[in-house]
Chains A and B, each alone.
Chain A
Amino acid sequence: MAHVVVERRQRASMIEPAVVVKGLVHMYPGRGEPALVIDELVIGEGEVVLVTGKSGSGKSTLVNCINGVIPHLFPGDSNLDPSTHSGEVYVRGLAVSKTPLHILSTVVGTLLQDPETQVLNYDVEEEVAFGPENLCLPPDEVNRRVSQAISSVGIGHLLGRETYTLSGGELQRVAAAAILAMTPQVLIFDEPTSNVDPEGTAVLLDFIRSLKGKSVIIVEHKVERVLPFADRVILMDNGRIVVDTPASTLLDKVDVFTHYGVEIPESYEYAKMLGLNTTDVQQLADEIRKRGVPIHQKMRRKYTQTILEAHLRVFSGERELLDAEISLGSGHILGVMGRNGAGKSTLLKALMGVLDRKLQSDVHLSVCGVDLSRGNVFERGKYITYVPQNFDLTLVSKSVMDELSYSPKKRGLKDWRDRVNELMSILSLEEYSSSDPLALSFGQRRRVALGSALAAGVKVALLDEPTSGQDFAHREALGRELSKLAGLGYSFIVVTHDSRFAYRHCDRLAILSEGRIVLEGSPEKVFENSQDYGVPPPTEFDLWRRLGEH
């Protein structure tokens, strides 16, 4: 740990501080352990700092202490024990705990993870004007700031649009403009791309990269995407800074980041292993080949028997939203990818029979040899199941055991206990069997939702963006669980934006574009051309392809 402190102090002495954290300890009410313990942290003017770490490591608590949300909105347990929030944070010379939040908001701006809940107003212009209006600025000044912020973020084309019609990526950019309108010098981006598709992510990160002269703190799991323009990387675990290093030296510490559950591209791991100071995929491929280093070939399950076949057409009035033929192999994981609005969720809902009532559909569906084309959700539910993106909404029982036995009981099945116990075991839920599902951690809740969907004995599950907003460790855990279940004969159609997850865990991929399947096959085949349809291949694939070219 000593080298961390030395590096930090050296840097602090060289640059003007925008943010200074001293002796900060924060404990949430009812928790026995502090969520954050920072002895010293200095972030300089104009510095771009990437803060990473697995979920629950204290990243969001740290940024909430910098923007004043803690202690102004969430004060901790200081009434009971003053030690639950101690120390001080200074932002451009202002002591955060002693400065009113509205004054801090002109110095530090925060973009949050979920665009849906942070955008408050009806149209784009109103949203951007919200902050300056709260500051009681004259209308002319408000309008000037709105124009400037909209121009900086490049969302002029969204003017006049209703915020509820915007995609996740567009919403995030509107939220970013709303923060810029407050003219802060310190900007915090708290997992800004978690709920955004790859194209939206690229645009948002380009915007962040374009910010000049501002101090930027980015909390992000997608390390690979931020590293090219980050000056410095901070790794957090258990509320403490574990590594604080210049971005250029990250390669030396790859194993530490991997150890703490942070997503590091495979190319970095190979570079570290080969002792190379480059992450250029072509150079790495050349070196790997030269040295004869074995590369882990992804194993795909073989397609033996078709369990689901469908031809789906969905219309909204005269407009055709979807026209797709799809088939799923028994014990297979089929990934469905594509841009926002390509028809991925519509495909799942059409299969399940839960489409919005204003849409019309023509569905030909056969599962396990049974024709379900005319079946409604009640009949299709005997053969297939569906887990929506917001899986918390499916948890309606008082205990995990009740949740998993909900479906078999409702369907009047008799021999369900063994299956439920088996799923509890596979999904590591046994010790929580009497816990309230909604009180469990994120990963545990996701496992309960998956288990309860499968408990009635269905063999086909449709999962809508199960990787959204999850860190690498959770996504890998999900991939392992799905693989294990696929080995037991369960089959999955998984809608995802996560190329790396698709490459590592799916047996086949289908790319949707404008309601049609434009690419289908093994991930290796599909990723050759997926970029044309807004789906960038992961660097693992890039490395594999370059190795295969010779």
Chain B
Amino acid sequence: MILGQLVDNLLSWLFVLVGYTTPLGIIFGLIGLTGFVEITRFEKGRSLYYQLNPVTKIVLGLCVTTISAISIWWIGGLLTAILALSFLTLNNGLRKFVFALLLTTSTVVATVQGFAPYTTTLTLQEAMHVKALHTVWVWPGYFSYMGFQHTLTLESIIYSLQISMRFTSIALASLILVLTTTPSGVIRALSKFGLPIPVTFSLVVAMRSVPRIFEAIDTSMKAQFVRGLGSRAHPLIRPIYYVEALISSIVPVLVFLLRGAKNTAISADTRAFRAYPKRTYAKPLHYTRADRITLILLVSALIITVYAATHGYGRGIPYVG
């Protein structure tokens, strides 16, 4: 009896641990911070994505977000698959495709961990249209202090998997914009959407800073490992120390970036930044036939999805009606 409870407790904690550490293990162990830099930085290429007008790519992101949000889960899954496969067309496509898959897997696991244990029976019954739920695991009673439901059900796992399909498609569409558009291209596209230049420029500086941020975090974390963080831990437990190192790196990295931000501000403002509400551009942005076709396809898909959703074909998750 006592042994059984002990095993149940250990297994429960193991599930929680695996749930929390797997996404981190994928990100730090398989993608790595330098891999993150690779999938968050523009590189030149020749395929369709690189030739599209940035406005078209922003519309792509908006359409994917809207379609995933209002349609049934498998539409999001389908979009995820299509977008992930399209990474193969990018410069160094296979490597980026693998990173995209790993990132998608990490997002799925994190979403399941974030939703499945916490979703109430009532929500699941309404969302999944079932009365009886299939219990997979019973959590120890004190897990309720962490917000856990009493049981982990098959429906809760399926439900959270379905929710994850929204996040994955949106994340991949956003990455495509970042990977295939220069920061100045993003500025110009966002300006066309009416965003003021200081706002768009902040986004661009943020985009350009992403690799620098990852490099700084990487340096700070490695410095902590050099100084002994996690050195006495079993290798299986080390992902926890990656989290500790990551959290500890936040303050020095922020201070480091803020010191650099002063230079960035001086550099921009001493070159007439914000002199006028608009800017001119040395190179014109082209709007090609490929843009027209892509926009027609995207807008068509959006209209069909809105029509279908409002007429009861394919409902969104979580269930609201």
Contact = CB atoms under 8 A, between A and B. Distances in A.
Interface of A: 64, 67-69, 72-73, 100-102, 104-106, 108-110, 112-114, 116-123, 125-126, 129-139, 142-143, 146, 162, 164, 175, 178-179, 182, 352, 354, 356-358, 377-379, 381-382, 385-388, 390, 392-396, 406-412, 438, 452-453, 456
A94 B255 CA distance: 36
B226 A393 contact: no
Contacts of B15: none
Given A139-B284, A394-B220, A131 B226 contact: no
Given A116-B212, A125-B282, A411 B252 contact: no
A134 B226 contact: no
B266 interface: yes
A72 B269 contact: yes
B203 to A, nearest CB: 12
B223 interface: yes
B34 A357 contact: yes
B225 interface: yes
A146 B275 CA distance: 19
Nearest to A403: B227
A508 to B, nearest CB: 24
Contacts of B275: 100, 102, 105, 134-136
A385 to B, nearest CB: 6
A139 B281 contact: yes
Contacts, number: 200
Contacts of B266: 64, 69, 73, 110, 112, 118
A117 B270 contact: no
Contacts of A381: 225-228, 231
A121 to B, nearest CB: 6
A116 B260 contact: yes
A63 to B, nearest CB: 10
B272 A118 contact: no
A393 B249 contact: yes
B232 A122 contact: no
A545 B41 CA distance: 49
Nearest to B217: A393
Contacts of A179: 271
B45 interface: no
B227 A453 contact: yes
A131 B282 CA distance: 11
Contacts of B204: 120
A410 B275 CA distance: 52
A242 B204 CA distance: 43
Most buried by A among B41, B205, B226, B251: B226
Contacts of A117: 260-261, 263-264, 267
Contacts of B271: 105, 130-131, 134, 178-179, 182
Contact of A385 (B212, B220, B227, B281): B227
A32 to B, nearest CB: 22
A424 to B, nearest CB: 16
A393 B220 CA distance: 5
A101 B269 contact: yes
Contacts of B264: 117-118, 120
Given A67-B270, A118-B266, A139-B284, A393 B219 contact: yes
Nearest to A349: B222
Most buried by A among B264, B266, B273: B266
21 contacts: A102-B273, A102-B274, A105-B272, A105-B275, A114-B263, A117-B263, A117-B264, A118-B267, A120-B268, A121-B208, A123-B182, A125-B282, A146-B282, A178-B271, A356-B34, A377-B225, A392-B256, A396-B251, A406-B227, A406-B228, A410-B230
B29 to A, nearest CB: 9
A134 B227 contact: no
Interface string B234-253: 00000000000000110111
A43 B267 CA distance: 23
B256 A393 contact: yes
B183 interface: yes
B280 interface: yes
Contacts of A67: 270
Contacts of B77: none
Nearest to A160: B44
A125 B184 CA distance: 11
B280 A120 contact: no
A384 B259 CA distance: 30
Contacts of B90: none
B87 interface: no
Contacts of A139: 280-284
5 closest A-B pairs by beta carbon, nearest first, are A102-B275, A410-B228, A131-B271, A118-B267, A117-B260
